[in-house]
A = this chain, B = another copy of it.
């Protein structure tokens, strides 16, 4: 914990330090090509040290992606309001938190959704990704039960919600749409349109 200036050996918890350094770099630079050596450099250890904690580069990458999904899910849960009168009121803070996570961690977000070699990793990732997806499913399910949302197949509606938010996040990361000075205006506008497709239409439209 304390940073005694000379601590050449036995860092203490290098594994965690490496992960956090990597996460920090994935947050700071939008287009960063991940290299083990640079992570080690920034963590203040030798270039081979990470191999004592991770079998290879892919393993670290996979772990980072999983942590990303976990953190994203936490951010969404935290943003979720307890009570809300309308679907728009419920979905807006969640969507904003989602997009904010993406723009705050651009490289990490891209990593999370990169298929990466083979299917093995992809399958594990899907478990975590599914947990995020389920936040959307729950919201829609309770909305349908409460009678606010049209009775349509939930998976289709969820696909619409997730695709829209994922798309906005990606576009925001890449600098098109929501170029940060516009604020969240396009986000809110798009959300309104989406919500009008989810909600049961009211007479006064």
Give complex CA distance A120, B100 in Å. Answer: 25
Tell me the nearest residue of chain B to A199, going by C-beta: B197
Give complex CA distance A127, B153 in Å. Answer: 38
In the assembled complex, how far is the CB of residue A124 from the closest CB belonging to chain B, in whole angstroms? 13
In the assembled complex, how far is the CB of residue A6 from the closest CB belonging to chain B, in whole angstroms? 38
A168/B176 contact (C-beta < 8 A), A31-B117, A115-B30 known? no
**Residue A86 CB within 8 A of the other chain:** no
Task: State which of B117, B176, B193 has its C-beta within 8 Å of the C-beta of A157.
Answer: B193
In the assembled complex, how far is the CB of residue A166 from the closest CB belonging to chain B, in whole angstroms? 4
| This protein's copies in its complex | 2
B-contacting residues, A6-63, CB 8 Å: 30-31
Choose among A129, A150, A166, A170 the residue with the greatest number of B CB atoms under 10 Å from its CB: A166
Q: Which residues of the other chain, B, contact A159 by a CB distance below 8 angstroms?
A: 168, 177, 186-187, 189-190
Tell whether, in the assembled complex, residue B205 and residue A198 are in contact, meaning their CB atoms are under 8 Å apart.
Answer: no
Q: Which residues of the other chain, B, contact A198 by a CB distance below 8 angstroms?
A: 193, 196-197
**Residue A81 CB within 8 A of the other chain:** no
- In this complex, how many residues of chain A approach chain B with their Cβ under 8 Å: the count is 50
Give complex CA distance A159, B171 in Å. Answer: 10
Q: Which residues of the other chain, B, contact A116 by a CB distance below 8 angstroms?
A: 31
Q: Which residues of the other chain, B, contact A194 by a CB distance below 8 angstroms?
A: 160, 164, 193-194, 197
Choose among A114, A152, A195, A197 the residue with the greatest number of B CB atoms under 10 Å from its CB: A197
Tell whether, in the assembled complex, residue A150 and residue B196 are in contact, meaning their CB atoms are under 8 Å apart.
Answer: yes
The 3 A-B residue pairs with the shortest CB-CB distance in the complex, in nearest-first order: A156-B189, A197-B197, A167-B167
Interface residues of A (CB under 8 A from B): 30-31, 113-117, 119, 122, 126, 129, 150, 152-153, 155-157, 159-160, 162-168, 170-171, 173-177, 185-198, 200-201, 205
